[in-house]
Amino acid sequence: EQYVYRFGGGVSEGKAGDKNRLGGKGANLAEMASIGLPVPPGFTISTAMCARYYEEGERFPDSLRAEVAAGIAHIEGVTGRRFGDAADPLLVSVRSGARVSMPGMMDTVLNLGLNDATVEGLAAASGDARFAWDSYRRFIQMYADVVLELDHGAFEEALEIAKEDRGYTLDTELSADDLRGLVAEYKQLVEQLWGRAFPQDVHDQLWGAVGAVFGSWQSDRAKVYRRLNHIPGDWGTAVNVQAMVFGNMGDTSATGVAFTRDPSTGERAYYGEFLINAQGEDVVAGIRTPQYLTRAARERAGAKPLSMEEALPAVYAELARVFDTLETHYRDMQDIEFTVQQGVLWMLQTRSGKRTAKAALKIAVDMAEEGLITREEAIARVDPSALDQLLHPTLDPAAARDVLTKGLPASPGAASGAAVFDADTAERWAADGRAVILLRTETSPEDIHGMHAAKGILTARGGMTSHAAVVARGMGRPCVSGAGALSIDARAKVARVGGRELREGDVLTIDGATGEVMAGEVATIQPELAGDFGTLMEWADTVRRLKVRANAETPADCRTARDFGAEGVGLCRTEHMFFESDRITAVRQMILASDERGRRAALDKLLPAQRADFTAIFQVMAGLPVTVRLLDPPLHEFLPHEEKEFAEVAQAAGVAVDVLRRRAAELHEFNPMLGHRGCRLGVTYPEIYETQAHAIFEAALDVAEKSGEAPIPEVMIPLVATKRELDLMKAVVDRAAEAVFAERGRRVEYLVGTMIELPRAALKAGEIAESGEFFSFGTNDLTQTTLGVSRDDAARFLGAYVEQGIYARDPFVSLDVEGVGELVALAAERGRATRPGIKLGICGEHGGDPASIAFCEQVGLDYVSASPYRVPIARLAAAQAAL
Ligand code: PEP
Ligand code: MG
């Protein structure tokens, strides 16, 4: 098996499609080389070697030595330099590159190949001793950190002291001799901390770095990132070894990152940042605040330092040509890393650029309209889940803002929350249900879990492509970066700006669209869903087969759902209406009644309220189907749980406190989820379902009479396991319907169906379909009952289950297609065999999850039902599933 693949210098042993084998970076380097773009020569060690490396106890097979030697020979041949040559040495970079990009998660070593002899050769060959010693200094520092895993603080301290001793403020003030001295110190530090001398053999250096890159695949931060992004642990990373090019060789050298379109807004304009006389990682790490790429962007920001377009016009023009070549070639917005070495442009990376949801929409719609991609491709390009970012409120422009300072608008959206200064606190407070904003001087990959837990991220340093900005955009978290006026003291947990202070817990608001940072909470408004969003949704609607409904039980939710394009209500959970303050007492009286007469008396009080609820919902959903589920939860949920509430509740219900207490104790169940709930309530107290049915049909007739447009009620019986249960409950509903129709002298169309949320119901679906006119898969309960995992207790162990690959994703979020899905498919098939054309839908949370929606398309359900804010996500996912 071949493990090493070469590229550059007219050779290309891979292509963009080889990401699984070569990783994203390696595959695209090969692709760029093959279309004639300037790529420094190099080779990629495949991801398969990563797996083998771990299989063999973190060792390399002997066969790899020869392959790597051939790879080095390839680079030597193209560059005309030799690795380890004391006169004119070849230096290489060693970088990770997984199948999908994991920004900042894994390791990189630059300037590899320097030692006490080659540094002199580099100085002589480049004619720049300062450059050579600075490169050696950087190499030791990076190697010590990444490969030897020594405390990097010690090296930074030595650098600071070297500057202080000489009265310098900038690294660039250090002379060649200063740096030579610093290198000696660094080597001593390595001996002290590592117990051995810094490796002088360039081949030892190389193997150390390759091992470190493979090792970084199993680092804690990489594991966290994979968990958050659902990246399998067995994919592994590739290693790219490539000839170094230097952006730190004076004022005609530079390094930068760029996007072919604005990743924040999607605007068709080159977008990026660069630093003159700097090396790659300086831009990404956010250590120096970089300069703009284009003049227009610089002028818009009112920034002084010249843009690349102005400072290096010829190379900029070439770069712009490369951008166009790449966009036409990849037919997507690209995210690029480049280096300019003494006026010559080199491409170090390209990949599809991460973008905000807003940018994704705009770019997809624009590219389709530019004719670069088809409409179907545009639909496929937008991640449905990312739409979530757009469907949520933004700051009300009319609200007062107490602006503290302004940074860069790094990731859009608005967020308010309590200030926290470290990732662990962010995670802890968020777990307690608090909204937090994470404040950091700059973020690093160690902060990922805190960024994820936070509602928003604010940094004092770093540009639009800093770690904080890239990660926040990827996660859909609002972020303001580089708020330079802000001084953050993480140890003292305080941030200072313009004479004011923010302490831990103080509430602030950030606006990721403008970069503003405000004290206190600022009011928000609902999003506008026109423009590109509307266009893409229209395109999606022409493609999808699945209908999309909403789970909604208030007129307001129904309105939102309809505005978002819902084509009906797939689940109206009536119990939520029972908790409203004007009826909870009647509900409790019903529960506390000792006989049917007492229950009916209480239910009679409930009836008008229920009827009003349904009337309001039917009005909003006029002309569309509304699935109303009869009462589902165990009755004790409606009784008070805290001792202090008992007296008040008893008084309101007109019973003695000990009667209430006794009844509450009677209703106690060991396992209420499997207890007296669902249709079991209807079987034991049919008058409850009867009353609900009355309310439904009366409301339907009211709306039909008033608006002329009759709703189509679909009455749904929960937690059915047997046909007999459904028969009994259907008889109750039909009787109520006939009674109402007779009384009013008018009928409406309606259906009676059942939820499929127990394995027995799925298995007996053929029989159940004899009575059931529709099925709605209640996959929340079906998951719970199929897996035997309590949906309310799963959080304690499901994380570990997902981490260990027992389930690929949380099965309550994304359908367990293999298990629960098999029951769904089987029930659909058996139901259809009995009743061809039986209406089939899904109303568990999975109805809003794109992967689950793809499955629903596959088994041919008629509709999915999602929470109102997820309706657009479901529309897009349904379209993608149909492509
Ligand atoms: C379900 O079980 O999937 C369902 C939709 O019902 P609920 O979540 O109300 O139990
Ligand atoms: Mg259920």
Q: Is 106 in the pocket of ligand 1 (CB under 6 A)?
A: no
Residue 726: exposure state from Cβ atoms within 10 A (0-12, 13-18, ≥19): buried
**Same domain (yes/no): 629, 743:** yes
The residue type found at 548 is V
| Ligand 1 contact via 573 beta carbon (within 6 Å) | yes
Domain match, 656 and 702 both: yes
Residues 350 and 265 in one domain: yes
Residue 769 alpha carbon to ligand 1 centre in Å: 20
The minimum-distance atom of ligand 1 relative to the CA of 844 is 3
Q: How many CA atoms lie within 13 A of 790 on its CB side?
A: 10
The preferred substitution site among 574, 627, 632, 777 for testing ligand 1, maximizing ligand atoms within 8 Å of CB, is: 632
Task: Report how far residue 802's alpha carbon sits from residue 804's, in angstroms, rounded to the nearest whole number.
Answer: 5
Q: How many whole angstroms from 425 Cα to the centroid of ligand 2?
A: 35
| 803 within a domain of the structure (yes/no) | no
Q: Which of 684, 717, 747 lies at the terminal end of a domain, its last residue?
A: 747
Position 466 in a domain = yes
How many CB atoms lie under 10 A from the CB of residue 307? Answer: 23
Residues 293 and 424 in one domain: no
Place of tokens 């080199």: 346
AA identity, residue 333: M
Does residue 721 fall inside a structural domain?
yes
Q: How far is the CA of 424 from the centre of ligand 2 (A)?
A: 35
- Whether 338 and 447 share a structural domain: no
Closest-CA residue to 692 (of 564, 583, 777, 560) = 583
Nearest atom of ligand 1 to the alpha carbon of 780:
3
- Nearest protein Cα to ligand 1, atom 8: 780
ipTM: 0.99
Judged by DSSP in three states, 290 sits in: coil
Question: Is the domain of 488 the same as that of 578?
Answer: no
According to DSSP, the residues that pair with 414 across neighbouring strands are: 511
Has residue 33 been placed in a domain? no
Same domain, 503 and 590: no
Query: Are 335 and 404 members of one domain?
Result: no
Residue 855 lies in a domain: no
* Ligand 1 atom having least distance to the Cα of 781: 2
Q: Which of 156, 221, 110 is closest to 444 using CA atoms?
A: 221
Q: Across the strands, what pairs with 775?
A: 754, 840
Say whether both 341 and 398 belong to one domain: no
Asked if residue 103 lies in contact with residue 467, where contact means CB atoms within 8 angstroms, the answer is yes
Q: Is ligand 1 within 6 A of the CB of residue 781?
A: yes
Determine the residue type at 340.
Answer: V
Q: Determine the distance separating the centroid of ligand 1 and the alpha carbon of 260, expressed in angstroms.
A: 45
CA dist., res. 33 & res. 15, Å (int): 9
Which atom of ligand 1 is least distant from the CA of 551?
5
- For residue 845, the ligand closest to its alpha carbon is 1
Whether 398 and 351 share a structural domain: no
Which atom in ligand 1 lies closest to the alpha carbon of residue 777?
Answer: 3
Same domain, 292 and 406: no
Residue 799: what residue type? G
> For residue 867, what pLDDT is reported?
86
Q: Which among 306, 340, 355 is the end of a domain? A: 355
Distance 325 CA to ligand 2 centre (A): 53
Ligand 1 mutation target, pool 781, 786, 790, 845, most atoms within 8 A of CB: 781
Ligand closest to the CA atom of residue 782? 1
List, as one string, the DSSP characters of 377-424.
Answer: HHHHHS-GGGGGGGSS-EE-TTS--EEEEE-EEEE-SEEEEEEESSHH
Q: How far is the CA of 66 from the centre of ligand 2 (A)?
A: 61
Ligand 1 centroid to residue 765 C-alpha, Å: 18
Ligand number, closest to the Cα atom of 570: 1
For ligand 2, the distance from its centroid to the CA atom of residue 447, given in whole angstroms, is: 37
pLDDT at 328: 94
Q: Structurally, how many domains does the chain consist of? A: 3
Judge if the beta carbon of residue 456 lies within 6 A of ligand 1: no
Determine whether the shortest distance from the Cβ of 677 to ligand 1 is under 6 A.
no
Instruction: Catalogue the active-site residues.
Output: 467, 843
Q: How far is the CA of 317 from the centre of ligand 2 (A)?
A: 61
What separation in angstroms does the CA of 467 have from each of 287, 480, 517, 627? 11, 12, 19, 46
Please tell me if the CB atom of residue 843 comes closer than 6 angstroms to any atom of ligand 1: yes
Residue to mutate (ligand 1; options 578, 717, 755, 823; most atoms within 8 A of CB) = 755
Residue 698 Cβ < 6 Å to ligand 1? no
Which residue's alpha carbon is at the smallest distance from atom 1 of ligand 1?
A: 778
DSSP string, 94-127: EEEEESS--TTTS-EEEEET--TTHHHHHHHHHT
Give, to the nearest 10 degrees, the angle between helix 596-620 and helix 686-707. 30
Nearest ligand atom owner, CA of 553: 1
Confirm whether pTM is higher than 0.80.
no
Q: How far is the CA of 757 from the centre of ligand 2 (A)?
A: 6
Nearest ligand by distance to the CA of 847: 1
Question: Cβ(778) to ligand 1 under 6 A?
Answer: yes
Within 8 A by CB and 6+ apart from 204, the residues are none
Q: Which positions of the chain have pLDDT values less than 50?
A: none
Both structure tokens of 69 = 């030697």
Contact 245, 279 (CB under 8 A): no
- Burial (Cβ within 10 Å: 0-12, 13-18, ≥19) of residue 669: middle
Mutate to test the pocket of ligand 1, among 553, 572, 573 (most ligand atoms within 8 A of CB): 573
Give the SS3 label for residue 666: helix
Q: Could you tell me if residue 374 is inside a domain?
A: no
- The 10 Å CB-count burial string (b at 16+, else e) for 264-300 is bbbebebbbbbbbbbbbebbbebbebbbbbbbebbee
Locus of tokens 């660069």: 274
Residues with Cβ within 8 Å of 175's Cβ and at least 6 positions away in sequence, in order, are 130
pLDDT score, position 474: 64
What angle in degrees, to the nearest 10, is found between the helix axes of 584-592 and 657-667? 80
Domain C-terminal end among 525, 540, 555? 525
844 C-beta closer than 6 A to ligand 1: yes
C-alpha–C-alpha distance, residues 435 and 433, integer Å: 7
Residue nearest atom 4 of ligand 1, based on CA coordinates: 778
- CATH number for the domain that contains residue 308: 3.30.470.20
Mutate to test the pocket of ligand 1, among 757, 812, 845 (most ligand atoms within 8 A of CB): 757
The C-alpha atoms of residue 568 and residue 310 are separated, in whole angstroms, by 57
Q: Which among 351, 352, 383, 377 is positioned nearest to 365, based on CA atoms?
A: 377
Residue 698 belongs to a domain = yes
Interval between CA 871 and ligand 1 midpoint (Å): 17
CATH number (domain holding residue 464): 3.50.30.10
Do 626 and 740 lie in one domain? The reply is yes
Ligand 1 atom at minimal distance to the Cα of residue 779: 3
Q: Which residues constitute the domain of residue 719?
A: 574-747
User: Rounded to whole angstroms, how far apart are CA atoms 445 and 222?
Assistant: 8
CA distance 684 to 677: 10
Residue 84 lies in a domain: no
Give the ligand 1 atom nearest the CA of 846. 3
Residues in Cβ contact with 530 at an 8 Å cutoff, skipping those fewer than 6 apart: none
Amino acid at residue number 29: L
Please name the residue whose Cα sits nearest to atom 10 of ligand 1: 781
List the helix and strand counts (H, then E) for the chain. Answer: 35, 34
Query: Of ligand 1's atoms, which has the minimum distance to the CA of residue 843?
Result: 5
Residue 772 near residue 752, CB atoms below 8 Å: yes
Q: Which of 273, 254, 252 is nearest to 262 (CA)?
A: 273
